[in-house]
């Protein structure tokens, strides 16, 4: 029965059947497309500047006819708003979520080596072996025990000595398998030398034992980002999300955006309330407006009032070179999403994702169909999962 179901999923009929129940039944444990759509529909109903219903219906029909699936993204990207007068080409340039996650990505990328990107402890070891620069690893918690960066057993006294040696000002404690910034603890060094989180938790042996009962974790030293990036919003590490494409050894950056924290939050994830900006890959110039998943639009940062117009990412050529060279060291994957931080010493990789989210990229950059070379959606429907 399991083999039969698996075989059915790999057929055009199986994919069309699956699409009929999307997004009500989706297996993604981190991002719920059903919840995202519910928020979008609430925004749609409250909007008092919509296009007329006949135009909305016509535009949805255009998208549905081209992509062969219902364009829920039409509501998620607020394409119904009166000021968004789009041509047919503009409309069909937006890639639907279902097509992206279930047809396009599986067609190009093998998930055989998924563990290399989905487990932060393994990713850290892998990056170190490839000499891909990343935040300093202080230790890891595996099966409730403390391990050194070289995966040698160590005790908490040794962890404290390492913190003292590095004079770490900030510590990030991340679940080995999680995304969207969930489950992260951030500790700051106090005047008396202790590490305390905004939730008034102390970084102690007891704390490590507590979190180690449930999940594996990686513990990294906080980084100092480039002062021009910090000026936008200093509370979080504002990462640059870069999508690389590696086809037959030809590596290129295809699109990028900047993720920025807000509201005193120390993480920049858009799903955690952060905002994001388009980056022009030719020159590193950011868009004039930052966006959020809730349809908000900002010409300046809501907390620092930093104006986005005419800002260019410093050392952009170096960032592109770092992304391309790093992606070239991972030929197992066609598309990768790199979260890169620009430090005073240069770019480093915070983490990578095998299933790059499309929503933030298209909200900030516009439709990306041509960027990813999708000329004939029918081909993917007729060859689901085949490479």
Q: For residue 263, tell me if it sits in a domain.
A: yes
pLDDT digit string, tens, across residues 28-44: 545 667 788 888 999 99
Q: For residue 20, tell me if it sits in a domain.
A: yes
Helix axes 12-20, 2-9, angle to 10 degrees: 90
Interval 119-128 mean pLDDT: 95
Whether residues 210 and 286 fall in one domain: no
Whether residues 247 and 336 fall in one domain: yes
Whether residues 33 and 141 fall in one domain: no
Q: Which residues contact 1 (CB under 8 A, 6 or more apart)?
A: none
Q: For residue 293, tell me if it sits in a domain.
A: yes
CATH code at position 161: 3.30.1490
Whether residues 269 and 348 fall in one domain: yes
Residues 367, 95: Cα–Cα separation, whole Å: 7
Of the candidates 181, 140, 102, 159, which has an alpha carbon nearest to the alpha carbon of residue 351?
A: 181
How many Cβ atoms are within 10 Å of 103's Cβ, its own excluded? 24
Residues 225, 238: Cα–Cα separation, whole Å: 8
pLDDT digit string, tens, across residues 100-122: 999 999 998 878 888 889 999 99
Percent helix, strand, coil in the chain, to 5, is: 35, 20, 45
- Tokens at 211, concatenated: 């979190």
The domain tally of the chain equals 3
| Final residue before a domain boundary, out of 174, 192, 221 | 221
Whether residues 235 and 213 fall in one domain: no
Residues 101, 251: Cα–Cα separation, whole Å: 21
Interval 342-346 mean pLDDT: 95
| Final residue before a domain boundary, out of 162, 195, 221 | 221
| Final residue before a domain boundary, out of 192, 221, 250 | 221
Interval 110-135 mean pLDDT: 92
pTM score, whole prediction = 0.91
Whether residues 180 and 231 fall in one domain: no
Interval 221-240 mean pLDDT: 95
Q: For residue 204, tell me if it sits in a domain.
A: yes
Q: For residue 125, tell me if it sits in a domain.
A: no
Q: For residue 66, tell me if it sits in a domain.
A: yes
| 16 — pLDDT class (breaks 50, 70, 90) | confident
Q: For residue 92, tell me if it sits in a domain.
A: yes
Whether residues 233 and 181 fall in one domain: no
- Dihedral sign, Cα of residue 108, residue 110, residue 115, residue 116: negative
Distances (CA, A) of 44 to 37, 87, 152, 184, 360: 10, 21, 54, 32, 18
Whether residues 161 and 274 fall in one domain: no
Calculate the average pLDDT of the chain.
91
Whether residues 69 and 55 fall in one domain: yes
Q: For residue 198, tell me if it sits in a domain.
A: yes
Vertex 356: Cα angle to 351 and 361 (nearest 5): 110
Whether residues 197 and 279 fall in one domain: no
Residue 8 above 70 pLDDT? no
Domain that holds residue 22: 2-99
CATH code at position 230: 3.30.470.20
Whether residues 238 and 333 fall in one domain: yes
Q: Which residues contact 115 (CB under 8 A, 6 or more apart)?
A: 122
Whether residues 63 and 181 fall in one domain: no
């Amino acid at each position: 029965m399991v083999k039969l179901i698996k075989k059915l999923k790999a057929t055009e009929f199986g994919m069309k059947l699956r699409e009929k129940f999307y997004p009500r039944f989706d297996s993604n444990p981190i991002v719920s497309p059903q919840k995202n759509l519910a928020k979008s529909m609430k925004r749609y109903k409250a909007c008092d500047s919509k296009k007329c219903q006949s135009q909305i219906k016509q535009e949805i029909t255009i998208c549905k006819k081209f992509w062969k699936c219902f364009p829920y993204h039409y509501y998620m990207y607020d394409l119904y708003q009166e000021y968004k007068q789009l041509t047919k080409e503009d409309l069909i340039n937006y890639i639907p979520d279902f097509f992206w996650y279930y047809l396009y990505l599986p067609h190009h990328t093998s998930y055989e080596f998924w563990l290399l990107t989905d487990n932060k402890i393994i990713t850290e070891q892998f990056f170190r072996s490839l000499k891909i620069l990343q935040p300093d690893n202080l230790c890891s918690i595996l099966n409730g025990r403390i391990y050194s960066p070289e995966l040698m057993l160590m005790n908490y006294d040794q962890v404290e000595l390492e913190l003292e040696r590095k004079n770490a000002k900030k510590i990030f404690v991340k679940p080995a398998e999680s995304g969207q910034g969930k489950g992260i603890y951030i500790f700051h060094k106090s005047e008396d030398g202790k590490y305390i989180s905004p939730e008034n938790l102390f970084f102690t042996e007891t704390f490590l034992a507590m979190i180690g009962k449930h999940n594996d974790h990686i513990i990294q030293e906080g980084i100092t980002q480039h002062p021009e990036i910090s000026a936008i919003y200093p509370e979080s590490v504002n990462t640059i999300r870069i999508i690389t494409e590696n086809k037959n050894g030809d590596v290129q950056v295809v699109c990028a955006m900047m993720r920025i924290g807000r509201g005193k939050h120390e993480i920049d994830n858009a799903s955690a309330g952060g905002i994001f900006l388009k980056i022009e890959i030719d020159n590193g110039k950011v868009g004039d407006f930052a966006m959020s998943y809730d349809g908000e639009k900002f010409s300046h940062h809501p907390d620092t009032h930093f104006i986005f117009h005419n800002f260019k990412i410093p050392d952009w050529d170096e960032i592109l070179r770092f992304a391309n060279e790093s992606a070239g060291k991972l030929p197992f994957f066609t598309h990768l999403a790199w979260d890169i931080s620009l430090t005073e010493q240069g770019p480093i990789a915070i983490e990578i994702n095998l299933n790059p989210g499309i929503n933030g990229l298209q909200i900030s950059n516009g439709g990306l169909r041509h960027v990813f070379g999708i000329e004939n959606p029918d081909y993917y429907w007729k060859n689901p999962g085949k490479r």
